[in-house]
Structures are given as structure tokens and as C-alpha cells.
Amino acid sequence: MNTTDTPLLDAARRLHDIRDRMAKAARLADRKPEDTRLIAVSKTFGPEAIEPLLQAGQRLFGENRVQEAQGKWPALREAYPDIELHLVGQLQSNKAEDAVALFDVIHSLDRSSLAQALAKVMAKLGRRPSCYVQVNIGQEEQKGGIAIEALPALLDEAQALGLPVVGLMCVPPAEREPAPYFALLSKLAKRHGLPRLSMGMSGDFETAITLGATEIRVGTALFGGR
């Protein structure tokens, strides 16, 4: 076997394993496997680590930082124009224009000032990335996300601004059972008529799928430790 094939084979094996686990979790919940999409979170990894997953067929990728994504994705998109790029990390309002220009989906809308900034630059650029409102589901001071009680007002404002909000996103507290937090996010999304749920990462995505996740954000299980 040619040793140059090893990264591709490793990537294909990891991707197959994750998709198999996703399908099993979906069946447990009487859901269709294709109803949950896999976002490969490639933060801190360069094109040499991303390329094998692209060759293996993965097309949805997530990044945490706008500046890092700007440095590696334009060239990759030339080679793979059907890539769908998701911003899954916190977004500063002064980076809104760069984010709208580069990303197809933004998962971290969490405050009025950012909603206003996004609406302004979407009108300017003529691009409208889908948005998820990030909810601080565990009420943790150190985490981003809108407070649960402030969610209705932010959703109303986003609607008034014409933002394309499609769902909710959360990161549950570490070292706690995630199921109650995923269930709460699902309840909130249904209450507000939002069809999509961005929840679940490498350690808990199967639980998230059983509770309705439509997007899971997996990094370590696909790329290895950072």
C-alpha cells in the first residue's frame, strides 16, 4: 500500500464511523439518518488535514474564528466549490462583514448588537447566510449565548430586521449529563417555530441526535486531538 494513501484512508474510516454512529442514534429515535447533518469542525487544522476529509466526501465544515477561516478556505473552495462553511464560534460585531462574506451559516447570533450588524452587512453585500441563535442553555457566565428568558425578544428583533434565523444552537455545560439541555433547546425551538437544532459534539452527538439535532458539530472524533 502506498503510504500517501494513509491520510485519505484514515479520514474515510473516521468519517464512516461517525456516520454509522449517527445512523444508529437516528434509528433509536425513529428518525431518518439523513435528517441530521454532520459539520466537521476544522478549527486549528490546516488544509493538509482537511483535504483528506474533502476527498472522502465531507462537504460541511465549521470554524471558530473568522480570521483563521479566511486564511485557509478560499483556496479550498476553488478546488471544492460545493463546500458549505459554518461559523460555530463567537462572533464579534466588528467581524460581521467578514463573516457574512465568507460563511454560509452562522451559529452564534446571541445579542441585539450583533443582529443589527449582521442585518446591515447582509444588505450591503447581498449575501444572507442562515443564522442560528445561540442559547446559553446552562446559564453559565463564562459562555456565550442569549439568556433563555431573553430569547423571545432577540428572535422578535431578528425577525423585524429580516434575518434568516432557522434554528437554535447550544453548548451544554461540561461534565454534566447533556440530555436535559438538549431537550430544553428542542422545546424552545418548537415553541418558537424554528425547525433546526445545532447541538451535539464529539462526546455527546448521539444523545443530541436522539433528542432532535439537525446539525452536529464534530471535531476531535474526525481530526484527532488538537
pLDDT, tens digit (0-9, with 9 covering 90-100), for 76-130: 999 999 999 999 999 999 999 999 999 999 999 999 999 999 999 999 999 999 9
pLDDT score of 5: 58
Asked if pLDDT for residue 159 goes beyond 50, the answer is yes
pLDDT tens, 44-75? 999 999 999 999 999 999 999 999 999 999 99
Mean of the per-residue pLDDT values for the chain? 95
pLDDT score of 6: 82
Asked if pLDDT for residue 2 goes beyond 70, the answer is no
Quick one: three-class SS letters along the chain?
CCHHHHHHHHHHHHHHHHHHHHHHHHHHCCCCHHHCEEEEECCCCCHHHHHHHHHCCCCEEEECCHHHHHHHHHHHHHHCCCCEEEECCCCCHHHHHHHHHHCCEEEEECCHHHHHHHHHHHHHHCCCCEEEEEECCCCCCCCCCECHHHHHHHHHHHHHHCCCEEEEECCCCCCCCCHHHHHHHHHHHHHCCCCEEECCCCCCHHHHHHCCCCEEEECHHHHCCC
pLDDT score of 225: 74
pLDDT score of 1: 40
pLDDT score of 113: 98
pLDDT tens, 166-193? 999 999 999 899 999 999 999 999 999 9
Output 149 or 175, whichever has higher pLDDT: 149
Asked if pLDDT for residue 131 goes beyond 60, the answer is yes
Mean predicted confidence (pLDDT) in 222-226: 82
Asked if pLDDT for residue 211 goes beyond 80, the answer is yes
